Amino acid sequence: MDAFFDKHPGWGTASRIAAAVLGGYALSSAWVVLWGAMQSTRVEAILAGVQTSFVVYVVAAIWAFSPVSLRRVWGVLIAAIVAMLGSAVLLAGWQG
Amino acid sequence: MGQKKKALTAGQGSFRQAHAWLHTWCGLWFSWLLFAVFLTGTLAVFEEPITHWMTPEHHAQEQAAAADRSVEPAADGASLSQRLAWATAYMETQHPGAGMWELWPADAEGAGELRVYWFDADGQYAAADLDASTGEPVIRKPGQQARKTMGGHHFVDFHYELHAGRLGLWIIGAAAMVMLVALVSGVITHRRIFKDFFTFRVRKGQRSWLDAHNAVAVLTLPFQFMIAYTGIAISGLALMPAGVHAYFGTEAEDARTFFSALNESDKPLRSGQSMAVPALEPFVLRGQALMGQPVRAVVIDHPGDAAARIGVYGWNDAVSVSQRLSSTSGMAMFSAATGDVLQVRQPGNADGGTAMLAQSVMAGLHMVTFGGWALKWVYFVCGLAGSAMMATGAILFMVKRRGKHLGEFGGATARVYRMIEGLNVAAIAGLAVACVGFLWANRLIPAGLNHRDDWELVAFFAVWLLSLLHALIRQPSAAWCEQLGALAVLCLLLPVLNLVTTGEHLLAQIMHADWESAGVELFVVAVGICALGALRSLRQRSAMRVPRTPSKPSNHAVPLPTEQETAA
């Protein structure tokens, strides 16, 4: 994958922008969903998750543009999203 | 170095190089929009004075009201109990089907206007004014009406949704995110941030622009982070709806369920048994005692039903408004049927938990609802510094590239540079012209015209669009000069226009202590003088300019045409 992006730097940049914008948005959305599952007062928890989600978004975007291989950027982003959503499902299911 | 730079793209080189790339391109592509958001948001701090200036018909009325009040304080209108009785009678007879009443009986001194609001049968918010001394509905005669204008609210609306509703909100939300990313990457890029701050190299071309960019950014960095973050968080629930969608559903109705759970979790359901609204005065008196504030509004949910609930909301006094970050007032909630106290909120507290309080504090921080005029001026100055940060950044990008082709856009580079130069002129000078043009339109568009407020907006956008066309047609240096000249003329002549069209002038405003109008005009005149100064220094530089020496292309601190531009 990285060899392809070395040859076509334009696609590498596009992929990085997608990781920062879309990946970052998906990650912060997953963060809000996780917050919603964490407390019994769900509306307050969702609001608190929304308020903090923009920090998550900024950090994700900054990291996606750091000198880290694209494979790693996407891998970590997807793993974190899956982990957050998985925990949210478990927590919400466990609370009933 | 140029060769090496050219090769670097996203996520390449050292950590700092990668973020320099991010800062440059994030900054460039969003600087024009962010400058517009910042400049109009800064003007929005003084929304009320601007609205005041734009509705000259109100000036005489306001002066008369102020004179009345100083002669006979609290003499106007009937007693509180009479006002409440009139409002109740009006609502029961005129709007029996309303789902909610909101009665505003009087100002904090028990005088002033009597106004009622309600949700009509379609769930729309409606309002009526009642005469405070007779209780009769007030019908405004056309002659008394002020010219229809958005006033200063134009700047508020534009800076958070571009007059484009939901779509505009998303565009601004994206721009605010980019700004946060650009701020972080900017801090990473400038490692010697404090040394940079104490460095200002005057009249050194590119370096002066860089120093200016660093100085305004570093000096106001905490403000810039705060204003971008609170701005995005205020609209957070709209921009980050995943949580609501996951637990409540994706329909509009589900969002309403969420918001009513958030804001009014204990709102009773209609019982179906009818019960007349009881006399409100006893509730109001008990509410005032419980929260320790004079009554501002009485809100009745389900009026006419046995499950009705009566909320008494208080007026915040000036001292608490200026000292409290959370601007919520006191509130006492009663059951209409039993008279039991359901809830008491002390001034400054939020109804819900910590997150609701945080939301209220962030809104207060962003909209500077506390701290009085002094803090408004601090916000105004910091906002101007933020605007200057965007403007210097955008200009710096081009100054760096004048005479030194970095070839970022391959064969199209010269054309793209030319377009960026034009966008810089239109976004910076052109927007300023459009803002003052909006004030001109307010005085020139006939007062009785249909949809007059829309025509003012049309004028604003038309002037801005013209400035863009002008900037793309003319050479950049000529475009800068001409638009700065237009700005200076429009700003300096605004007091004259006001005198000609309304007969008001600066001296009279100051004598009447009408500081809102005088402040608007004095500031506009100050902008005009600054524009003249900028114009003069531009012309001096062009006059001093020796035939170009390509080896030192960046020695012009001001936009000048280059070979590429003239060739392009």
What is the C-alpha to C-alpha distance for residues A25 and A61, in angstroms, rounded to an integer?
9
B21 touching A, CB under 8 A? Answer: yes
Contact B352 A43 (CB under 8 A): yes
B177 touching A, CB under 8 A? Answer: yes
Cβ-proximal residues to B508 (8 Å cutoff; 6+ apart), any chain: none
Contact A65 B356 (CB under 8 A): no
Closest chain A CA to residue B355: A48
Chain A environment of B243 (Cβ under 8 Å): 29, 32-33, 35-36, 46, 49-50
Residue B203, pLDDT score: 67
A84 touching B, CB under 8 A? Answer: no
Q: What's the N-to-C CA distance of chain A in angstroms? A: 43
Closest chain B CA to residue A67: B11
What is the C-alpha to C-alpha distance for residues B356 and B279, in angstroms, rounded to an integer?
33
From the centroid of its chain, how far is CA A59?
A: 10
Specify the higher pLDDT residue, A79 or B10: A79
Residue B199, pLDDT score: 67
Residue B4, pLDDT score: 40
Contact A51 B356 (CB under 8 A): no
Name the pLDDT band for A81 (thresholds 50, 70, 90).
Answer: very high
Residue B530, pLDDT score: 96
The answer to whether the CB of B478 falls within 8 A of the CB of B560 is no
Shortest Cα–Cα distance, B355 to chain A (Å): 5
What is the C-alpha to C-alpha distance for residues B98 and B185, in angstroms, rounded to an integer?
53
User: What's the per-residue H, E or C state across B427-474?
Assistant: HHHHHHHHHHHHHHHHHHCCCCCCCHHHHHHHHHHHHHHHHHHHHHHC
Residue B561, pLDDT score: 40
Q: Which long-range contacts (CB under 8 A, 24 or more apart) does B259-266 make?
A: B261/A43, B262/A43, B262/A44, B262/A47, B262/B352, B262/B356, B263/B351, B263/B352, B264/B351, B265/A43, B265/B352, B266/B342, B266/B343
Average pLDDT over residues A6-27: 89
Residue corresponding to tokens 């407390």: A39
Closest CA to A47 of B237, B452, B210: B237
Give the Å distances, CA to CA, from B26 to A20, B176, B394: 12, 11, 11
Chain B environment of A47 (Cβ under 8 Å): 236-237, 262, 355-356, 359
Ramachandran sector of residue B199 (left: φ over 0; alpha: ψ -120 to 50; beta: rest): beta
Backbone angles phi, psi at B494, to 5 degrees: -60, -45
A61 touching B, CB under 8 A? Answer: yes
Contact A67 B237 (CB under 8 A): no
What is the C-alpha to C-alpha distance for residues A79 and B465, in angstroms, rounded to an integer?
46
The answer to whether the CB of B433 falls within 8 A of the CB of B486 is yes
Does the ipTM exceed 0.85?
A: yes
SS3 A27: helix
Residue type for position B279: A
pTM for the structure as a whole: 0.84
What is the C-alpha to C-alpha distance for residues B63 and B248, in angstroms, rounded to an integer?
52
Chain A environment of B17 (Cβ under 8 Å): 67
At A19-58, the pLDDT tens digits run: 999 999 999 999 999 999 987 688 889 999 999 999 999 9
The answer to whether the CB of B90 falls within 8 A of the CB of B128 is yes
Closest chain A CA to residue B257: A43
What is the C-alpha to C-alpha distance for residues B177 and B174, in angstroms, rounded to an integer?
5
Residue A59, pLDDT score: 96
Give the Å distances, CA to CA, from B411 to B375, B407, B414, B415: 50, 8, 8, 9
Question: How many alpha carbons lie under 13 Å from residue B494 in its C-beta half-sphere?
Answer: 31
Burial degree of B75 (CB within 10 A; 0-12, 13-18, 19+): exposed
The answer to whether the CB of B441 falls within 8 A of the CB of B456 is yes
Domain boundaries, chain B: 20-56+146-255+353-401, 74-138+265-350, 408-568
Q: What's the N-to-C CA distance of chain B in angstroms? A: 26
List of chain B residues with pLDDT < 70:
1-7, 65, 67-76, 140-145, 192-200, 202-203, 265-266, 545-568
Residue type for position B129: D
Chain A environment of B18 (Cβ under 8 Å): 65-67
Residue B300: in which H helix or E strand, if any? strand B295-301
Contact A47 B10 (CB under 8 A): no
Closest chain B CA to residue A35: B243
B356 touching A, CB under 8 A? Answer: yes
Contact A44 B261 (CB under 8 A): no
